[in-house]
Amino acid sequence: MNAVLELLGRGVLRVLEGVGRFFELLGMTLRGLVTPPWAPSTTARQVVRVGVDSVPVVLLTAFFTGGVLALQTFKGFQRFHAEGYIGSVVALSMLRELGPVLTGLMVTGRAGSAMAAELGSMRVTEQIDALVALATDPVHYLFVPRVLAAIIVLPMLVVLSDAIGIAGGYLVAVTYLGANPVVYVNNTFQYLDMDDLTSGLIKSAVFGFLLALVGCQCGYDTEGGAEGVGRSTTTAVVMGSLSILIADFFLTKVLF
């Protein structure tokens, strides 16, 4: 009995410790975001690495998602002769949900993991200690440019992803399902609101913040050499993706 309680207590403690650490680093990052000196050139470099380098994978994902959405909706809507609304469904789903979420997940896999790996190897080779010894706040120096870059760049990627997703849906609907191009395009934009776009963009900025923060945190707290770096990278992707999906639910509820 005692052993069970002990095990339980240890588990609870570990979870609480992790949560506490998350908020500790969150606080340090938020403070860092409003404290000079800002590093525009470092941030710009991160914008390239998080954003520009992610464009191909984000576009491919969006294109096929738009396409498959058109296919699936056709299958379903055909049953009650509502094929004309495929365009609206594709556009709405992309803008409100799939654009931000899938982009967030893809960038987590590409950039969040890379951040964890980079900071993790800096930790195990004492480079982070060296930063402190050189009187430099590592959270400010390492987290802030990455988090900032991700916040800036995710909404941009999402705009691209929305556009390509809609194009993918159009292509499948018009060439393969035989939809009328003019009617399809009309339908796509007829029921769209500005809100649909902005809510997706707000979400994506939050996703950017989360994936960069989680990626940096996992790397920063790496222990145990090369194996530890591998573990941190995995954790960064898992926790980053989870936090995006969970945040997505609550944000949608708020922004609905």
Partner 1 sequence: MSAPAAVPAIRLKGISKSFGAKKVLVGLDLEVRKGESLVLLGQSGIGKSVLLKHVIGLLKPDTGTVELYGRNLWAVPPRERDELRRKFGMSFQEGALFDSMSVGENIAFPLTRHTKKSKEEIADRVAECLDLVRLPGIEEKRPSELSGGMKRRVGFARAIALQPENLLFDEPTTGLDPVTTDVVVKVISEMRNRLKPAAITITHDLKVAFSIADRVGLLSEGRIYAEMTPKEFEQSKDPRVAAFVTGNSELAPPEAEPERRTERAGEAHV
Task: Note whether 224 binds partner 1 by CB under 8 A.
Answer: yes
Shortest separation between residue 47's beta carbon and partner 1, angstroms: 16
Q: Name which of 36 and 178 has its Cβ closer to partner 1.
A: 36
Cβ(32)–Cβ(144) under 8 Å? yes
Among 7, 14, 223, 234, binds partner 1 (CB under 8 A): 223
Cβ(117)–Cβ(229) under 8 Å? yes
CB neighbours of 97 closer than 8 A, spacing ≥ 6?
Answer: 200, 248, 252
Task: Note whether 143 binds partner 1 by CB under 8 A.
Answer: no
Shortest separation between residue 27's beta carbon and partner 1, angstroms: 13
Cβ(236)–Cβ(218) under 8 Å? yes
Longest dimension (CA), the chain: 72
Binding mask 158-197 for partner 1 (x = CB under 8 A): ----------------------------------------
The Cα 161–Cα 138 span in angstroms is 33
Task: Note whether 215 binds partner 1 by CB under 8 A.
Answer: no
User: In this structure, what token pair is assigned to residue 231?
Assistant: 């573990």
Task: Note whether 227 binds partner 1 by CB under 8 A.
Answer: no
Q: Name which of 204 and 222 has its Cβ closer to partner 1.
A: 222
CA distance readout (Å), 156 to 96, 201, 202, 228, 250? 15, 8, 11, 33, 22
SS3 125: coil
Task: Note whether 137 binds partner 1 by CB under 8 A.
Answer: yes
Task: Note whether 7 binds partner 1 by CB under 8 A.
Answer: no
Task: Note whether 129 binds partner 1 by CB under 8 A.
Answer: yes
Task: Note whether 136 binds partner 1 by CB under 8 A.
Answer: yes
Q: Name residue, tokens 């588990």.
A: 11
The Cα 46–Cα 145 span in angstroms is 7
Shortest separation between residue 130's beta carbon and partner 1, angstroms: 4
Among 112, 138, 145, 208, binds partner 1 (CB under 8 A): 138
Binding to partner 1 (CB under 8 A) within 10-69 occurs at: 17, 21, 24
* Amino acid in position 33: L
Task: Note whether 135 binds partner 1 by CB under 8 A.
Answer: yes
CB neighbours of 54 closer than 8 A, spacing ≥ 6?
Answer: 106, 107, 110, 111, 153, 157
Among 6, 126, 193, 195, binds partner 1 (CB under 8 A): 126
Binding site for partner 1 (CB under 8 A): 17, 21, 24, 118, 122-123, 125-130, 132-139, 220-225, 228
